[in-house]
């Protein structure tokens, strides 16, 4: 009976893993297809869709824009979110719990609602610049991810260390930088990674804020699939998967995936 149970568990585990990996494998395979349409299994092997990426200007522009927005919004959230998290954990502000919940609330709202709200707000404030509007919206989107991991890291951090650093001759900001930052680095990296990804593949909020010349990658990809569904999209996806793997390896080298996962 126990043997049967264990076998059953293994089979289910195998199926779940297969289910999770199947789409990735299919996209990777299709990206090397020689066919001009999405066909699986592909009729032959070629690198033509990777080669065609060089000419897909609008696609590359979208990759570049999404990267910028994701990197900038993550960086801004890291700085603001960390300072806010310090104020919350140190009890420097009244209603700290409410503030923490509020900062994490964009995660609980449907993206569509946020998107419409941003569109309306941007109009009311007379904010016409698409790039700035996108950036502000993405700071709000990324903030919960940073807040959650940084608050969790700070709850394990002994602030007496900051006092110790100050007594040894470092100003408060310098003490935070030399003692707090290295000690909660795993929280920064894992929060930053999640935040970057949340911004990079955000669709429901961005769709309300983009214009014809300023399109983020998910929107551009969907346009492409609707207009000319060829394996260029698969090639881009394959490159994104590669990028993710590289990012994970870098993070592992930097702080260790185990430490990141424990936050």
Q: Applying CB under 8 A, which of residues 67, 166, 176, 259 lies at the interface with another protein?
A: 166
* 233 touching another protein, by CB under 8 A: no
Using CB under 8 A, pick the residue from 5, 126, 169, 226 that binds another protein.
Answer: 169
164 or 245, CB closer to another protein?
164
Q: In whole angstroms, what is the distance from residue 28 CA to residue 235 CA?
A: 7
Task: State the nearest-atom distance from the C-beta of 100 to another protein, in Å.
Answer: 22
Beta-bridge mates of residue 33: 45
Measured from the CB atom, is 129 or 163 closer to another protein?
A: 163
Convert residues 56-95 into a mask of x (bound to another protein by CB under 8 A) and - (unbound): ----------------------------------------
Applying CB under 8 A, among 174, 225, 245, 249 the residue interacting with another protein is 174
Give min distance, CB of 186 to another protein, in A: 11
Q: Which of 103, 122, 175, 233 binds another protein (CB under 8 A)?
A: 175
Is 143 within 8 Å of 180 (Cβ atoms)? no
Rule CB under 8 A: is residue 167 a binding residue for another protein?
A: yes
Residue from 8, 102, 172, 177 binding another protein (CB under 8 A) = 172
Stretch binding another protein (CB under 8 A), from 40-48, 128-136, 174-182, 194-202: 174-182
259 counts as binding another protein under rule CB under 8 A: no
Residues that bind another protein (CB under 8 A): 158, 160-161, 163-172, 174-175, 178-179, 182-183
């Amino acid at each position: 009976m126990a043997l049967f149970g264990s076998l059953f568990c293994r089979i289910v585990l195998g199926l779940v893993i297969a289910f999770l990996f199947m789409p990735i494998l299919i996209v990777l395979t299709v990206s090397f297809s020689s066919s001009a349409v999405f066909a699986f299994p592909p009729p032959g092997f070629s690198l033509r869709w990777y080669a065609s990426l060089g000419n897909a200007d609008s696609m590359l522009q979208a990759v570049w824009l999404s990267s910028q927005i994701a990197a900038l919004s993550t960086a801004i959230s890291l700085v603001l979110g960390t300072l806010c998290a310090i104020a919350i954990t140190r009890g420097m502000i009244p209603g700290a719990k409410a503030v923490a919940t509020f900062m994490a609330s964009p995660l609980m709202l449907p993206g569509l609602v946020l998107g419409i709200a941003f569109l309306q707000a941007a109009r009311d404030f007379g904010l016409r610049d698409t790039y700035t509007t996108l950036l502000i919206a993405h700071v709000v989107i990324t903030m919960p991810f940073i807040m959650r991991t940084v608050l969790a890291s700070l709850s394990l951090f002994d602030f007496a260390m900051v006092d110790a650093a100050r007594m040894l001759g470092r100003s408060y900001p310098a003490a935070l930088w030399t003692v707090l930052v290295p000690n909660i680095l795993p929280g920064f990296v894992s929060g930053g990674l999640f935040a970057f990804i949340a911004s990079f593949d955000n669709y429901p909020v961005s769709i309300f804020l983009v214009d014809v010349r300023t399109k983020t990658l998910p929107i551009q990809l969907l346009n492409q699939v609707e207009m000319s569904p060829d394996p260029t999209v698969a090639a881009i996806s394959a490159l994104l998967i590669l990028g993710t793997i590289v990012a994970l390896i870098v993070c592992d080298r930097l702080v260790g995936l185990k430490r990141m996962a424990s936050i």
